[in-house]
Structure 1
Amino acid sequence: MDSIHAQSYAKIVENGVQAIEEVNRLRGSGYTKEDIYVISHNQEREDRIVDAADTNEVGMHEEGLFGTIANLFRSRGDELRSKIVSLGFSEAEADFYEKELDMGKVLVIASRTSS
């Protein structure tokens, strides 16, 4: 499922290689490093993909101070849904994407709301 909003785009991919390919495709279409995020249910995997793709992780700039602090006390699933919502998606979309992440997939998001 791809989701395109006025400001946000998301695509579920099967693995890190596909995530890097999607990041490169998004860069080719005009998105910058600061616009692109990679999310995985496994934090170490997410970190490796973010480093390899030279892109962003969702942080305080996107979630705000309180959202970032709250994530310290949330389950990984709740944290991921919060991050997805902070990038301009609805709760229902965040639930869908988080379930896909549970199955080992990777989410690539391009969002100009971070600018």
Structure 2
Amino acid sequence: MDSVGAHAYAKVLENGVQAIEEVNRLWDSGYRKEDLYVISHDRDREERIAEAADSNEVGLREEGLFGTLANMFRSRGDELRSKITSLGFSEAEADFFERELDLGKVLVVAKKTSA
């Protein structure tokens, strides 16, 4: 599924290889590293894919201090939904994406930041 909102674009992909290809496609269409995020249910996998794709993981800049600290006490599912909503998606969209991540899929998000 692709989702294009006023603030961000997201695509659910089956695996890390497809996620890296999607990041490369987004780079070719004009997005910068600061605009691209990879999210996976498995933290280690997320880190590996983000590094291989030369993209970002959602962190302090996107969630703010409170959100980042709160994630330390949340379940992984709640943490993922929080990260997704911090990128501009609705609660319903975050629920959908988190269920897809539960199935082992990878979410690539492109969010234009100010230059």
TM-score under structure 2 normalisation?
Answer: 0.97
Which amino acid is the alignment partner of residue 102 of structure 2? D
Q: Give the aligned length.
A: 115
List gaps (5 residues or longer) in structure 2: none
Check the 8 A contact 2:12/2:107 in 1, yes or no: yes
Matches of 1:107 and 1:4, distance apart in 2: 13
Kindly indicate whether residue 52 of structure 2 is the aligned counterpart of residue 46 of structure 1. no
* 1:44-65 CA distance string (max 9 Å, x none): 1001101100110100000000
Matches of 1:67 and 1:114, distance apart in 2: 21
Matched residue, 1:90: 90
Aligned partner of residue 31 in structure 1, secondary structure: coil
* 1:43-99 CA distance string (max 9 Å, x none): 010011011001101000000000000000000000000000000000000000000
Percent identity among equivalent residues?
75
Q: After TM superposition, give the deviation of residue 6 of structure 1 in Å.
A: 2.3
TM-score under structure 1 normalisation?
Answer: 0.97
Aligned partner of residue 99 in structure 1, secondary structure: helix
List gaps (5 residues or longer) in structure 1: none
